[in-house]
Amino acid sequence: MIDFSLRQSATVVMPSLRGPIEKTAIYLTDTANLSRSLARSKHSIHFTDPTITITGAAHGLLDEPFKLVSLLFDRYQPPGPSVHGRRRLEQLLVSRFLPVLNLNVRQELFWREAASEDTMAPSSRKTVPNSVIEQEIELLPHPSATIRIGHSVDIPGIQEPLNVELSAQKLLRFRNPLAPSLGLALHQITGPGTAFLVADAGDWQFRSSQECKELSRFSKITGGFPQMTDPFRNAPTLEVGYAFGSHRMGVQSERPFTKPADRGVRGMDCDLDDNDRTGPWTVSAGLSSGVAATYLRYGRNLFSLLARNYHGKQSTIRAEIELASSTQRDFFLAFRALKRIGKFSKAGLELGLTPNNVHLSLYWSRLGQRISLPILVARKILPRLSKTPVKKTPPSLSEDLQRYIGRRRAEADELTVILATGVEPRQNRERVGGGLVILSAKYGVRDATPDEIADVTIAVAALVDGGRLVIPKGMRKSRLLGFWDPAPMTSKVLNVRYIHQGREKTVEVSGRDELKLP
């Protein structure tokens, strides 16, 4: 499977906006009686010229959407556009080409002594600001508004300030039940690096939706299996970590903790652009929805003494390795490398290894234009079952296999609830136009009881594209999006009842045979 990513951004300084912002701030400080306290402390506020950054990106699939199933539950995610956040997979399910357009307005504030106002050197204004206000509007793919505030708090007896970062994001959708997503980050230079804590409230709503009621019903069906979560909704998260040698972090250094970060090779690219000497080690631990995970990253420059280009800049290869594991017994191992080519270009690659997949990502950047090409090289199916020999024949399945079936059914039920919101309008359009409408789809052993047959009607309908449905020969159907395997290691059939051009038909395929409709 191959997907592609293109990104372009441009930043413009807007001195004309400085005056109105400064007047507004003075009015607010006078209203809050802050001007007197500032006068007593002999400090004043200096506003820099605001900057406006416009970012455009595109991400798309060059393969069938159902192959995304191998990525949905993988801890390692290919390096897609960071502006998509964690909703990238949800958005790609309904579009093979996903455009992104957002606008960011940044205002920096410096607190300085009034006596030194005229003697302040221009170079000092380029240091890390005391406060930052960012306002971000996302126009595509889903309109949203975000405000992000960063401020440094001086602590008596401690040389380095405590940096506080707050954010709030709201989707601008009609009748959107989700409340604003809130984020908090604390970080401080401690010793040779920076310690940080990041908390994200995730997506939540004031009252239970119909989707939550359905998920609750499915949880009762699965009995004692773990409580299900929506894989497409941001879960509350808490992360604590320490980055050796890294001092330029947080929204004041234009690297917000409360925003999807430039990660992988793209993050290394940003370090080279900013001439930031990132330390060799970064370690962090996170907690989300009852799952704990740890991350360890190590990076260094290779051949630094030998490589210099004709511009006098170091042309070393920046290499990085990252290891992550979680309490769910999954892990990933990633290898990354980035090299400067000429004065303005950089090329890199990333190799990600997980128990289920092998990813290779190619990367190229030049003057702010960035192109990445993630490729799914190989996949393994049911790797854990190979370690547990099953001596009994179905239906006397082993306890581990029964747990696996329940886990896969829970995942499929979650996805079915989410897919239904996009499938129903598409099927209605097919019905009106006399196209392909899936009435029912059953997957399981022939002549099995209803409890041992998977209802995959929504999952099959989601594969209809342009009035056609194709499941290639050799594809294991139990791994398709929204499917689950009710009887592993046995021969199964997929029975589909559909309407095309007003005529109802039924088709049945066995095993990994091809299904092509109409």
Residue 252, pLDDT > 50, answer: yes
Question: How far apart, in whole angstroms, are the C-alpha atoms of residue 126 and residue 458?
Answer: 55
> What's the distance, Cα to Cα, between the start and end of the chain in Å?
25
Predicted confidence band of residue 61 (pLDDT cuts 50, 70, 90)? low
Between residues 14 and 248, which one has the greater pLDDT?
14
Contact 194, 186 (CB under 8 A): no
Pick the closest to residue 291 from 226, 337, 377 (CA basis). 226
Rounded Cα–Cα distance for residues 136 and 452 (Å) = 50
Rg of the chain (C-alpha set): 27
- Nearest 5°: phi and psi at 465? -135, 115
Mean pLDDT of 126-132: 80
* Bridge pairing between strands 503-510 and 193-200: unpaired
- Going by pLDDT thresholds of 50, 70 and 90, the confidence category of residue 376 is low
Q: What is the mean pLDDT of residues 263-281?
A: 68
Distance CA 455, CA 441 (A): 6
Helix and strand element counts for the chain (H, E): 8, 23
pLDDT value of position 358: 80
The enclosing H or E element of 381 equals none
Sign of the four-CA dihedral 121, 122, 123, 129: positive
- In this prediction, residues 228-239 reach a mean pLDDT of 61
DSSP 8-state code for residue 316: P
Query: Hey, is 453 helix, strand or coil?
Result: strand
Alpha helices, H only, 277-398: none
Confidence grade of residue 29 (pLDDT, cut at 50, 70, 90): low
Say if residue 201's pLDDT is above 90.
Answer: no
Q: What's this model's pTM, rounded to 2 decimal places?
A: 0.61
pLDDT digits 0-9 by tens, 303-338: 765 555 544 555 678 888 988 887 766 778 889 898
Average confidence (pLDDT) over 143-172: 90
Tokens, residue 23: 């007047």
Is the pLDDT at 394 greater than 80? The verdict is no
Give the pLDDT of residue 328.
66
Q: Give the containing element (helix H, strand E) for 329.
A: none
What letter represents residue 204's amino acid? W
DSSP element (H, E) containing 47: strand 43-47
pLDDT of residue 300 exceeding 90: no
Task: Map tokens 């949800």 to a residue.
Answer: 90
Residues 210-232 pLDDT 10s: 444 443 433 333 333 333 334 44
Q: Which residues pair with 47 in a beta bridge?
A: 109
Residue 145's CB is within 10 A of a number of other CB atoms, namely 14
CA 362 – CA 168 distance, rounded (Å)? 34
Please give the Cα distance from 327 to 288 (Å, whole number). Answer: 11
* DSSP secondary structure letters along 56-76: EEEEEESS-GGGGHHHHT-S-
Q: 235: how many CB neighbours lie within 10 A of its CB?
A: 17
State mean pLDDT over 141-145: 83
- In terms of Cα–Cα distance, which of 137, 167, 367, 156 is closest to 250? 167
Confidence (pLDDT) at 204: 63
Contacting residues for 220 by C-beta, under 8 A, at least 6 apart: none
The structure tokens 């001007």 sit at: 35
**Alpha carbon of residue 77 to chain centroid:** 8
Q: Which of 88-97, 151-160, 221-230, 410-419 has the highest mean pLDDT?
A: 151-160
- Residue 167, pLDDT score: 92
Q: What is the mean pLDDT of residues 231-248?
A: 76
Instruction: Residue 209: count other Cβ atoms within 10 Å of its Cβ.
Output: 11
pLDDT of residue 104: 92
Cis peptide before 518 (omega within 30 of 0): yes
Cβ contact 89:230 at 8 Å: no
Counting Cα atoms < 13 Å in the Cβ hemisphere of 396 gives: 4
User: What is the percent of the chain with per-residue pLDDT over 90, rounded to a whole number?
Assistant: 8
pLDDT, the chain, mean: 73
The pair phi, psi for residue 230, each rounded to 5°, is -75, 115
Mean of the pLDDT values across residues 274-296? 73
Under the banding of pLDDT at 50, 70 and 90, the label for residue 163 is very high
pLDDT of residue 90 exceeding 70? no
Q: Is 131 exposed, middle or buried (0-12, 13-18, 19+ CB in 10 A)?
A: middle
Q: At residue 518, what is the residue type?
A: P
Give the pLDDT confidence score for residue 395 in this predicted structure: 45
Identify whether the C-beta of residue 57 lies closer than 8 Å to the C-beta of residue 5. yes
Cβ distance 410 to 508 under 8 Å?
no
Between vectors from CA 147 to CA 143 and to CA 152, what angle results, nearest 5°?
160
- Positive or negative, the Cα torsion across 45, 49, 50, 55? negative
Least reliable range by pLDDT among 64-78, 123-137, 141-155, 442-456: 64-78
Backbone angles phi, psi at 297, to 5 degrees: -130, 140
